[in-house]
Structure 1
Amino acid sequence: MSRAARLLDLLQVFRRYRHPVSGAALAEELGVSLRTIYRDIEALKAQGAAIDGEAGVGFVLKPGFMLPPLMFSEDEIEALVLGSRWVAERADQPLGAAARNALVKIGAVLPPDLRAGLDDSTLLVAGGSPLAAGESELPRIRDAIRRQRKLTIAYADVNGASSERVIWPIALAFFDRARVIVAWCELRNDFRHFRADRVIRLEVETNTYPHRRATLMKQWQAKEGIALRSRQEKEQSMLTRIDSIKQ
């Protein structure tokens, strides 16, 4: 491993810790000697990294430092390419364009040998299901989630019965077969999942919902047991319940 790559790995490890971490713990995680860790910490400090601490006490990296030039491993570059291609195929047009633009910006600051990996990646994404008519509202839904705005929607269930709700959107799930709004429903006084392709009409309200989105996300995850299921199980479970439960 090159010294530059080792310094980058050390930065990545530092960013996972909010509190001081010992040099011994860093050395064990990176598979190098304690002496090398101390030497690399001094090298990062010389390049402007704000690392506080000392041997025997622990070290912590203050936020805001990036090692120039921007560097990624080959696996990280392929992950970025694959992710952007997936978004371009499965998400709405503005989000897909944003993914492609992000890759262009990353490529502009990568060293030449790594930049080639953006175009030469052999990981491909199969075409996804085309967006249904109702899913043209995905950009507005994403904006409402960011701003924590209520939505008033007219929604048709699996049998075609329609209803009007006021919901608090907290997340948008992109599955191969559907795009799903995760929200608190005022009518049901509980969390519900709404397929975006079944939204007949949508209005973004001017008022925000009364609880923080992060708090609602934790409550939803606790209820659904999201952390305990695989991706496939989560998708099948969510879509099955959308079709079976009373919305």
Structure 2
Amino acid sequence: MKKSNRLFETIQIFRAARGPLRAEDLAARLEVSVRTVYRDIAALQAMRTPILGEPGIGYVLRRGYDLPPLNFDEEEVEALRVGLGMLSRSGDRSLRRAAARISAKIDALQVPADWLQVSPWGAPEDDPALGCVSISMLRAAVRDERVLRIDYEDGEGQRTTRTIRPIGIVYHINAVLVAAWCELRAGLRHFRTDRIHACTPTGATFPGQGDVFRAVWAEQNRWEGGGEGAS
């Protein structure tokens, strides 16, 4: 996470907090070191952000430093809540954490709606402890147009090593697919993320080619076929 984004996110965490936050708590939320949190707090204080700290207690954001009201009507807010809740079914842990942060910001400015629930069952979670490749890593590779080398297992249990140029992510109800140009097959293919057993950046990139590949992908509309994956 870039420092500017991290500083903004730190302020949002303070806004949603109901009490003092320790540096250790912030470090865990932001996935950085405690030393980085201390530096960030100092940077925000230098920018006159009213963060107050007390040894042994933690940090608080002084009242009055608030976001302006969100200009959404009731149904628009409910649509946001349902949409954010649906991300729990995507299997994408990083997006789910982002959704939780956004929901906390909405709750800080709106009346909570505990009666509005979304079933969490959906695609398998991309938990590294279970040997799953992070969907966040795949999304970053699409954005940065980075070539990846993956170990992939197809529906029949056959494993192959592929070099791919990822161009899109498709979230189905029970699976997540990465659309990519596969060098082995010399064509566009879809790979289920829960069948990618290893993923390593090659160091190569394909700048400017992503848009061209996506145009062909959209024309072929291959993802509508259910997308079991590669061949």
Q: TM-score range by the shorter chain?
A: 0.5 to 0.7
1:83 aligns to what? 83
Kept after mapping to 1: 8 A contact 2:145/2:210 = yes
Kept after mapping to 2: 8 A contact 1:78/1:123 = no
CA offsets per residue over residues 146-191 of structure 1, 9 Å max, x none?
A: 2111111111111122211111111111212211111111122211
1:239 aligns to what? 227
Kept after mapping to 2: 8 A contact 1:134/1:199 = no
Residue aligned with 2:178, SS: strand
Structure-to-structure mapping, 1:25-44, within 5 angstroms = none
Identity %: 32
Say if 1:219 and 1:197 are closer, same or farther in 2 by CA, change over 3 A: same
Structure richer in helix, relative to its length: 1
Measure the CA separation in 2 of the matches of 1:206 and 1:86.
Answer: 34
Structure-to-structure mapping, 1:165-244, within 5 angstroms = 165-224=162-221, 234=224, 237-240=225-228, 242=229
2:113 aligns to what? 119
Moved over 3 A (4+): 132-136
Deviation at 1:129, TM superposition (A): 4.3
Say if 1:79 and 1:147 are closer, same or farther in 2 by CA, change over 3 A: same
Count of residues in correspondence between the two structures: 161
Kept after mapping to 1: 8 A contact 2:124/2:175 = no
Kept after mapping to 1: 8 A contact 2:152/2:161 = yes
Listed as ranges, the gaps of 5+ residues in structure 2 are 1-67
Structure-to-structure mapping, 1:90-169, within 5 angstroms = 90-108=90-108, 110=109, 115-116=110-111, 118-131=112-125, 133=130, 135-169=132-166
Deviation at 1:89, TM superposition (A): 3.2
Measure the CA separation in 1 of the matches of 2:208 and 2:188.
Answer: 13
RMSD: 2.3
Query: What is the identity, as a one-letter code, of the residue corresponding to 1:128?
Result: G
Larger Rg, first or second structure (1 or 2): 1
Kept after mapping to 1: 8 A contact 2:89/2:173 = no
Say if 1:135 and 1:76 are closer, same or farther in 2 by CA, change over 3 A: farther
Kept after mapping to 1: 8 A contact 2:123/2:172 = no
Measure the CA separation in 2 of the matches of 1:170 and 1:75.
Answer: 34
Q: Out of 149-158 and 123-132, give the one that drifted further.
A: 123-132
Query: What is the identity, as a one-letter code, of the residue corresponding to 2:79?
Result: A
Residue aligned with 2:165, SS: strand
Measure the CA separation in 2 of the matches of 1:71 and 1:210.
Answer: 38
Length-normalised TM-score, structure 1: 0.58
Length-normalised TM-score, structure 2: 0.62
Measure the CA separation in 2 of the matches of 1:215 and 1:73.
Answer: 39
Say if 1:90 and 1:225 are closer, same or farther in 2 by CA, change over 3 A: closer
